[in-house]
């Protein structure tokens, strides 16, 4: 079996995990989670990131990842669990009282793999930059990765951080933007047009590249590998990754409606039939 096929099978199981998590508690954000399944799989299973399931908050001598758009926690939790950070059956506790798997990732529960609370949008870039600069000060040559939503970039703090990163030549960071064109109230074009993101990041001094189809595993692997090759050259690296919200479930695609809505029993059965079990359900 080819490596790409193994990664695709992993991603299919992650989609099942996402759907089952939000269905059980009738709460959560399946749309963006499904759209970023290939990205998370590539990071943690595809050799893109050097990471240690034996988790410690210092993060020394390993690559770090920060999720800024924390509402897509279902995909993050699934990939962390299936990458050995905590037991897979703990996914059963998603969004329950006293669970370590809160709706938005937090740190006080001590869940392995979670380095920052990311309930409030727009803050992840700042945190990731702090970690990247700390690595430079510590002579640690590993990288910092972060993920952001395109609608999230409507938050002004992002642009202060984006300006700061280039001005301080923070060139050990790769910030990916999930460009799915959707947010909770509609399309980004309807709510607040983002304009030309590539031109904006370049004007702020970043090295910008694009992944045309962020739901194609090979393209994601190739794109992130290319991004890594661009680090260490005096500029922070931005990856604009076009995805489909709700990818892998036909009735969740091409709409913002599933940004933060759980499927009912019949819809879950339909969605799971489109994503056959590959690694075993929890």
Dump the DSSP string for 56-108.
-TT-TTS-EEEESSGGGHHHHHHHHHHTTSS-GGGGGGTT-TT-SS-SS--ST
Q: Check if CATH label 3.40.50.970 holds for domain 3-274.
A: yes
Tokens read off for 217: 């595993």
Residue 166 sits at the vertex; the CA angle it makes with 214 and 154, to the nearest 5 degrees, is 55
Cβ pair 236, 14 in contact under 8 A: no
Cα separation of 61 and 110, whole Å? Answer: 20
Q: Please name the residues in contact with 56: beta carbons below 8 A apart, sequence gap of 6 or more.
A: none
- Rounded Cα distance between 272 and 260, Å, is 18
pLDDT at 202: 98
Beta strands of the chain (E only): which ranges? 64-67, 144-149, 173-179, 182-183, 186-187, 207-211, 237-242
**178 Cβ neighbours under 8 A, 6+ residues apart:** 32, 35, 36, 39, 69, 147, 148, 149, 150, 214, 241, 243
Strand partners, 249: none
What does the block give as tokens for 194?
A: 């983002």
Helix (H) or strand (E) run with residue 271 in it: helix 265-273
Give 64's DSSP letter. Answer: E
Q: Are 11 and 33 in contact (CB under 8 A)?
A: no
Question: Residue 173 has which token pair?
Answer: 């960071």
The C-alpha atoms of residue 238 and residue 173 are separated, in whole angstroms, by 8
Instruction: Return left, alpha or beta for 105; rule: phi > 0 is left, psi -120 to 50 is alpha, else beta.
Output: beta
Are 135 and 144 contacting, i.e. CB atoms less than 8 angstroms apart? yes
Q: Tell me, what's the pLDDT at 249?
A: 98
pLDDT at 119: 83
| Predicted pLDDT of residue 1 | 58
Q: Which regions in the chain score pLDDT beneath 50? A: none
């Amino acid at each position: 079996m080819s490596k790409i096929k193994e990664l695709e099978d992993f991603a299919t199981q992650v989609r099942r995990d996402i759907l089952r998590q939000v269905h059980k508690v009738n709460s959560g954000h399946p749309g963006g989670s499904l759209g970023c399944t290939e990205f998370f799989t590539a990071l943690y299973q595809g050799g893109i990131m050097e990471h240690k399931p034996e988790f410690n908050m210092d993060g020394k001598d390993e690559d770090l990842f920060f999720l800024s758009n924390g509402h897509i926690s279902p995909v993050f939790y699934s990939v962390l669990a299936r990458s050995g950070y905590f037991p897979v059956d703990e996914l059963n506790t998603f969004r329950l009282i006293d669970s370590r798997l809160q709706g938005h990732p937090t740190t006080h529960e001590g869940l392995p793999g979670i380095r920052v609370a990311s309930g409030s949008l727009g803050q992840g870039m700042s945190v990731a930059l702090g970690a990247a600069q700390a690595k430079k000060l510590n002579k640690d040559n590993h990288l910092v990765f972060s993920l952001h939503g395109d609608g999230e970039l409507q938050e002004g703090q992002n642009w202060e951080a984006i300006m700061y990163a280039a001005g301080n030549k923070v060139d050990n960071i790769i910030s990916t933007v999930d460009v799915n064109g959707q947010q909770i109230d509609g399309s980004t074009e309807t709510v607040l047009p983002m304009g030309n993101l590539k031109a904006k990041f370049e004007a702020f001094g970043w090295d910008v590249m694009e992944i045309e189809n962020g739901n194609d595993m090979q393209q994601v692997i190739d794109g992130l590998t290319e991004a890594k090759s661009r680090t260490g050259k005096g500029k922070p690296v931005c990856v604009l990754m076009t995805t489909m919200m709700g990818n892998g479930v036909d009735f969740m695609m091409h709409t913002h409606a599933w940004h933060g809505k759980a499927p009912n029993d019949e819809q879950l059965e339909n969605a799971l039939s489109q994503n056959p079990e590959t690694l075993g359900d929890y």
